[in-house]
Structure 1
Amino acid sequence: MTLITQFGGGKTHTLTTLYHLATQGNAAAGYDGVADLVREAGVGSIPKARVAVFVGNAWDPQPGRETPWIDIARQLAGDKGVEALGPAARTTPPGTESIARVFQAADAPVLLLFDEVLNFLNRHRGSAEFFLAFIQNLTVATTGTTRGAAVISLPRSQVEMTEWDQQWQDRISKVVRRVAKDLIANDETEISEVIRRRLFEDLGSERVRRNVATAFADWCFERRAQLPPEWTAVDTAATETKAREFLRSRFEACYPFHPATLSVFQRKWQALPQYQQTRGTLAMLAQWISIAAQEGYRKARTEPLITLGSAPLDEPGFRGVVLGQLGESRLVAAIDTDIAGEQAHSKALDADTKGPLRDIHRRVGTAILFESSGGQTDKVAHLPELRFALGEPEVDTTSIDNAASALEDRSYFIRKAGSDGFRIGYQPTMKKVVSDRRASLDEATEVKPSLRRIVDDEFRRGASIPVISFARDGAEIPDTPRLTLLVADPELEWSGGGSLRVQVAEWTRQRGTSPRLYPGALVWCLKKPGRDLRDKVELMLAWKRVAREVAEGTLGGEFDRSDRADLQSKVKDSEVAAKDGVWGDYRFAVVADGQETDGLKAIDLGAGHSSSGETLCGRVIAALTSEALLNESVGAGYVERNWPPALKESGAWPLTSLRQSFLNGSLTRLVHPDATLRDKVVEFVNRGDFGLASGRKPDDSYERVWFKEPVGTEEVAFEADVFLLRKNVAQALRAGGPPEPLPTLPPAPDAGTASAPEPGKDVSTTTLRLVGTVPAELWNRLGTKILPKLRSGSDLKVGVDFSVTVSSANAAILAAELRQVLKELGLDDAVRVE
């Protein structure tokens, strides 16, 4: 007899029933339903028989049962049965006569039950031909006796068969059906009752069952406006208490399953041609429960009910059962990519989820698969259905909605359907094509040039100071007093140290081989480590390429109309995201700072995003300003407080030195130092905070002094002979007080009466030398008090020997500044810096 069933159509239960009837005989009459079976069969008693069982998915060779026929012979007649097969049976299938001798050795009616034959053949492919020969001989031997029967179960559905399975299914069927009678067995009953009786021996505590049902019913009732009406609709005349009780009864009836878990197969899968409503569901749920039990020990998250979201799609066996029932094996790629693969999009989104929301994106994706893959015409998982299927007392509907939107935005096979629906299919969305195009981008000719272009464009947009992008050498960076923004190449990533910091420090101090005069005017902007910006630029390029291909007609026929309609908005969004990536990645500004060990100070700009009202250049300037490293302007009080001690006595500060102090890091930086200082000096002089003088005379007076009067900006020249005067000095000079007079010499005799020196008499002279150490703060007073006295003599010589100790990092900068001052004074040939 050949037992033909669908997968899960009741074949195993039929074989089990036959086993108990044959082994128990009349004792089996007390089992439920057996009396009805005996009466309907018209037999007076139940004969006992010797039974041999072969279960292909469980059978493996062992000592004493090296082959299936040896195992069957031992079950029927013990060692006598094995002896009846003969010694060749260990390697060769027995013939019909050997099998007949086994039947005789059993000394009783025999019943042979074969289940999961294809499974055995698949696992032991090397024995397939031998087993086929054994089955053929067995069927012949069985037809030759009146005291034996064989029942071989074969699946009817080919949904879950491979090509190899189908080939062997056909071969076995041809052999068996020559002498067999087909019996189609089905055990289709109401699904919920079958599940209760066949999957669970005990549903656990009745109190827990009622508490869980009550909690879920209350949650659904409070959110009934957001859930499917078929689950929450009750008679309008019913009271709130009755409505809650109705919901509770529905949850209690399905416990430990969520009602949506069981109903989805009736609501949406029932029309599928390959789906077996009862046994197909049992096949899935049996594995589901087994895996869920293991997960309960392995993971911290447990669920009071088995929801659609908990389906273990990451298990290949379970996934195979699901896709077999759906009849759509092409969904494997969609499941792996978006829901349950090692690199699935849901897994990436769930990386930071925890507590009740743990794995929420995977659960939403799983529910979308079950709700949108049935046989109905409208294959859509609507948000109300997802909320009902996944909602629980600690998870609100908003979290489910957000997870669905986030997953759809990232997925390659899940797409929006209408205003509140989602569906999954084997056809990729446009995002998948974009991903493929992104993978084919050329790094050297497409990615890097576009990356540099978008960075350069974003920094230059609305820039208020000069921008120099991607300098390859320090010599390319000009040594200018104007504040300059230097944008580092995207390939260079600032981590706070390493070779990049050394390079930036060197280029800040040196221009080529020459020390810089204005290192404080340079502001570096560098990228943080990571691929965020590069990823966004690659995505933008991919979207643009897809848009171009669609416009040219080479792409787009396989996409939904909604995908094509959203294309331009996706391109625009990717461009905005790339600009935001520049703002987010270029978050470090680095400036010269003499107080740091290596002369550099780094500032973290923080996270940012592009906007029409702000520029990247303005963002850097604002950050420097907030750190007191940059000012738009400067006040008189600031200049007074930072007046060099060496110049306080004279009260005169050369404008060249004043400007240099704002550019070398001694004083705060100015965005536009020359223009700002000119305007502020004019303002200071007009207001009487300071004076301005030019043309210094040997007697320390000046050719021109301005104080409390308007002065033209053209008079404010950054030259060594133009000075900013302290208020008291300017007041004294404007008051007309005469400078200290030079020593007077005796009048020379009249030329007509002068007498020649007497012969033999020489004028006696003495040379005076002033030697010692002078405090720096007294240097100016030394010059104004001592030099006029020394001018009364002849052959005056003044030499200097200054020494100062500075850090090695700043030595070159200071030496360059000193040489510049000497050059401005015309002493660069007379005084050298060693």
Structure 2
Amino acid sequence: MKPWREVAIPHADVLKGTFQQSEFAADMTAVHSGKAPHEYQDAAAFFERTYITEGMRLLLTQVAQRLSDRGGEPVIQLQTAFGGGKTHTLLAVYHLATRKCPLSELQGIPTLIERAGLMDVPQARVAVIDGNAHAPGQPWVARSVGVSPALWSSQSGRDAHAPRIHTLWGELAWQLGGSDGYAMVKEADANGTSPGKDVLRQLLEAYAPCVVLMDELVAYIRQFPDGQTLSGGSYDSNLSFVQALTEAVKLVPTAVVLASLPESEVEAGSSRGVAALQALEKTFGRVQALWKPVATEEAFEIVRRRLFEPIKDVKTRDAVCRAFADAYLAEGAKLPSETQEGRYYDRLCAAYPIHPEVFDRLYEDWTTIDGFQRTRGVLKLMAKVINRLWKNNDQDSMILPGSLPLADGDVRNEMTYLLPPGWDAVIEGDIDGERAETTELEGREPRFGQVQAARRVARTLFLGSAPASVATKSGIRGLDRGRVMLGCLQPGQTTAVYSDALNRLADRLHYLNSNGDKAADATRYWFDTRANLRREMEDRKRRFDDKTDVRKKIEETVKKLFDRVPLFDGVHVFTPHADVPDDNALRLVVLPLEQAYLKDAPHAATDAVLEYLRMHGGQPRHRANRLIFLAADHAVLSRLRDATRVALAWSSIVEDVDEGRLNIDQNQLTQARKEARAASEVLPRAARECFKWLLCPVQDDPTAMKPAIEPFPLNTTSGTAPGELERVCRENELVIETWSPIHLRDHLRRFYWKPDQPHTRALAFWEDSLRYLYLPRLKSREVLAAVVRTGAASQDFFGTAYGFTDGKYDGFQFGDGGVSLDDTLLLIEPEAAKQHALALRNPIEAKPPEAQMTSRGDAETQRVEKKDASSDLRGSATLREQSLVRTFRGSVEVNTTLAKSKLNTIAEEVIALLASDPNATVRITLEIDAEFPQGASDTIRRAVSENANSLGFKTKDWE
């Protein structure tokens, strides 16, 4: 499709920007004196650019019938709002009566005359009474009758004998009849008294057919002071003249009087003007006014004729309008209902290249502003809009509300000079311009920037909501979503991008207000010069400190988010390692914000995890395998902090209103409560999106210096936060709730069963699984109990017993099941259990359990067995002779990587028991034997020697 600029070409003065305010203001006196622009001065040019509206057609028909003595109203009153086209209509009558060319050259007039049943309209004398042309107290020199306007403007064209006119009736008589006509009212003009109905009737009869055009009467009459007489007469004498003229013209069949009056008291001016308007309304009130205001559809043609050349490529225009209509049908209910009607296509064609929505907003909303002229104001505004769009090489298919270049100073000034102060800041900050929020948003979001979606939405809202009287007119303020879309959408586009832009703007802009849920189609949006509390919110956001207020709010939110996670016995949010218990419970530790996880640089989080695993306050942690960690995503953390500040800010505003510390109107209170609720709902979602990294310590190799921290991302969009956390733990076996006996057997074989000791305490495995990261992380002791019960029922995994004494298992079972997990339960390697079972059935052939993994031909073992057997034969006498044990000596080799944990365990479970006897004397000697095949470095030697001295080592020799 072609853009509008290739189909509708503006007039030269619009393109050049040489139009002036005065050129849009029809001036009766300027035309009468020959000083008006060509399009107003020349009759043919005037009607070429004038669209004859329904009201103008009726009025011209009445005038033509009256001048032709075919009836018609003698007195016609024109009364509409400011800028309603009254003066333009008077000019149409003026050119019809004073034309110097055939009627056929006046565009639109021949058809009008034919419909009125006339063959022709006689030329007539015209008197123009312009209340703004003269002052009541200053006589003026009459212009010579018959002298051309161009000649009259020079001194040579002046009549030296022309009288000095004092009153409106003197001017009327001079314009109709020159010196002869003036002689009929000369005395009345001199003394300032009304000439009366009879004299005026004689005057009109003498110079009929004639037309009297009276404009701005109120502006003239209101200048007379109370109780004073000026050269132009008095207040009462002028009202008497008007009344006498309306009575006289009724008596002359080919005379007609047309008078324009303002519609509102505001236009009348002072209290004196209001009184004059009321008096004139009573005078003309007896005559029915035939004037009809310009309809919106008629304005289409008025503006098009004045601003654009005639459209030659009608097919292209129709194709563009059809494309718009089809696009509206495709969007259906997302747009206003009138766009779904077939006649909306006709409106598009009639208004082209300006979209009908522009006219609707101007004529329905902007004309309610006092001082905005219905025709003149629209013409002047659109001329500046078209000039700027043409210079900007605008490529829109039509000029829509979203096309208005509000960033241009001339256009902005034209639209704001009648609005209350403060709109410049609204436009520059929120709507249009280099520093506007809309421009910034489009720069960050390419899909908005491609079609200027944010600016178009904001411009449309401004056009439809800026007039301050909209709310008082109907009680409904602003535009709904469908009408906003109508002001932006072009063929080939969808409303989705503009709808998204509207949602984003509703969250960002300081001066954009709404009266409901932004997702609802019935919600209305409008701009106001008062900030919508968003600026107050932005100011308050900066008051909250990240390390105190924001951190505390996030902590509360995360605690609620992960309040109940059945898989864990405890959840600790931002808790120091000293306050995370070191016990058997399975715990989730949420790392503080300072220790967020960054995929490319995870050290802050992983180092924190290692610190929790090592320390419990000032003491080493013994049950490190009971902790799993949750960390924030460093890349999302800033958004969470911002969402938290927003929630705190809105909450503080509502609190201040409730406590009486902040006074706002009801609409703002509704907005504050709505925004506070929305922010509180956003915060948990933002927290879940941020806390998405589950960090689990793992150690596949028991000899590794330190464990690895493996990250697992959580899905933040499905299910609940606790449910997703549990899912990741189960699927990745980070926490084991159900275990197989085969896995338990494999771990026992690897770490516990030895050739000289094929059994181990079941609880030893449980206790070690609490400590060592290379062992499985069981949810609870009951998981191990279930595995033992299942495994004990089979001969494939292990045998069980409740004690081992003198080479025999007490309570031995193998494949029988029915065991319970307690402190005495032993788990026996399956081959050893099998041998022990055979020994119970056939003691001669079976090997003793403690020797099933050694060579049967071990002579030393056989000697031990014989010695033990002979010892048993000595009997009870020998046992009685044995003395009580008085000394314990023990030694153990400790794996270097597990030294810290192992030594703590020895201290708790061996040394502490020995020291529990108050009579015991316990001495502990730690012996260290380190070998360096390649030789120890000087650094190690120096550091170890210094540390050994400070720790009080008795021997510390190097060899």
Structure 1 segment 112-511 matched on structure 2, within 5 A: 192-193=300-301, 195-196=303-304, 199-200=307-308, 206-221=314-329, 227-228=335-336, 233=341, 243=342, 246-278=343-375, 280-289=377-386, 292=389, 302-324=395-417, 326-340=418-432, 342=435, 344=437, 347-348=440-441, 351-352=444-445, 354=447, 358-374=451-467, 375-376=469-470, 377-378=473-474, 379-397=477-495, 400=498, 403-417=501-515, 419-441=522-544, 446-462=549-565, 464-472=568-576, 474-496=577-599, 497-511=602-616
Quote how far apart the aligned CAs of 1:216 are: 1.0
Distance 2:357 2:671 in 1: 33
Contact 2:799 2:815 in 1 (8 A): yes
Distance 1:387 1:328 in 2: 27
Letter in 2 for 1:339: I
> Counterpart in 1 of 2:73?
none
Distance 2:739 2:594 in 1: 37
Distance 2:908 2:337 in 1: 91
Distance 2:675 2:332 in 1: 35
Report SS of the residue matched to 2:728.
helix
> Counterpart in 1 of 2:783?
676
| 1:716 has 2:789 as partner | no
| 1:733 has 2:836 as partner | yes
Distance 1:785 1:42 in 2: 153
Contact 2:836 2:847 in 1 (8 A): no
> Counterpart in 2 of 1:559?
666
> Counterpart in 2 of 1:691?
799
Report SS of the residue matched to 2:803.
strand
Distance 1:221 1:457 in 2: 48
Change (3 A) 1:278 1:790: farther
Letter in 1 for 2:366: W
For the aligned residue pairs, the C-alpha RMSD in angstroms reads 5.0
Structure 1 segment 102-113 matched on structure 2, within 5 A: none
Structure 1 segment 743-754 matched on structure 2, within 5 A: none
What's the CA shift string for 1:476-495, capped at 9, x where partnerless? 44443432211111233211
Distance 2:689 2:782 in 1: 33
- Correspondent of 1:8 among 14, 21, 29: 21
Q: Percent identity?
A: 19
Contact 1:308 1:367 in 2 (8 A): yes
Contact 2:718 2:724 in 1 (8 A): no
User: Across the two proteins, how many residue pairs are aligned to each other?
Assistant: 615
Quote how far apart the aligned CAs of 1:681 are: 1.6
> Counterpart in 2 of 1:527?
632
Structure 1 segment 750-769 matched on structure 2, within 5 A: none
| 1:816 has 2:901 as partner | yes
Quote how far apart the aligned CAs of 1:800 are: 11
Report SS of the residue matched to 1:590.
strand
Distance 2:334 2:908 in 1: 83
Distance 1:627 1:687 in 2: 28
Distance 1:799 1:566 in 2: 77
Change (3 A) 1:724 1:312: farther
Change (3 A) 1:6 1:782: farther
Contact 1:663 1:669 in 2 (8 A): no
> Counterpart in 2 of 1:588?
693
What's the CA shift string for 1:710-750, capped at 9, x where partnerless? 5564x533xxx75322444334323415464699xxxxxxx
Report SS of the residue matched to 1:540.
helix
> Counterpart in 2 of 1:538?
645
Distance 1:656 1:677 in 2: 9
What's the CA shift string for 1:256-310, capped at 9, x where partnerless? 332212332122212222434455445544554455456668xxxx532222112
Quote how far apart the aligned CAs of 1:634 are: 0.9
Change (3 A) 1:285 1:627: farther
Distance 2:327 2:633 in 1: 46
Letter in 1 for 2:488: L
What's the CA shift string for 1:339-392, capped at 9, x where partnerless? 336362685488436289844343223212211223441343234433432333
Structure 2: 5+ residue stretches without partners: 1-17, 48-93, 101-125, 127-144, 155-294, 517-521, 868-888, 915-923, 931-959
Contact 2:715 2:724 in 1 (8 A): no
Contact 2:478 2:525 in 1 (8 A): yes
What's the CA shift string for 1:119-166, capped at 9, x where partnerless? xxxxxxxxxxxxxxxxxxxxxxxxxxxxxxxxxxxxxxxxxxxxxxxx
TM-score by length of 1: 0.61
Change (3 A) 1:537 1:833: farther
- Correspondent of 2:861 among 772, 783, 788: 788
Report SS of the residue matched to 1:212.
helix
Quote how far apart the aligned CAs of 1:528 are: 1.3
Report SS of the residue matched to 1:592.
strand
Quote how far apart the aligned CAs of 1:215 are: 0.7
Letter in 2 for 1:328: P
| 1:608 has 2:706 as partner | no
> Counterpart in 2 of 1:61?
none
Change (3 A) 1:215 1:285: same
Change (3 A) 1:786 1:267: farther
Letter in 1 for 2:647: M
Contact 2:429 2:437 in 1 (8 A): yes
Structure 1 segment 62-141 matched on structure 2, within 5 A: none
Distance 2:357 2:666 in 1: 31
Report SS of the residue matched to 1:644.
helix
Quote how far apart the aligned CAs of 1:588 are: 1.0
Query: Max radius of gyration: which structure?
Result: 2
> Counterpart in 1 of 2:180?
none
Contact 2:512 2:528 in 1 (8 A): yes
Contact 1:390 1:400 in 2 (8 A): yes
Quote how far apart the aligned CAs of 1:517 are: 4.0
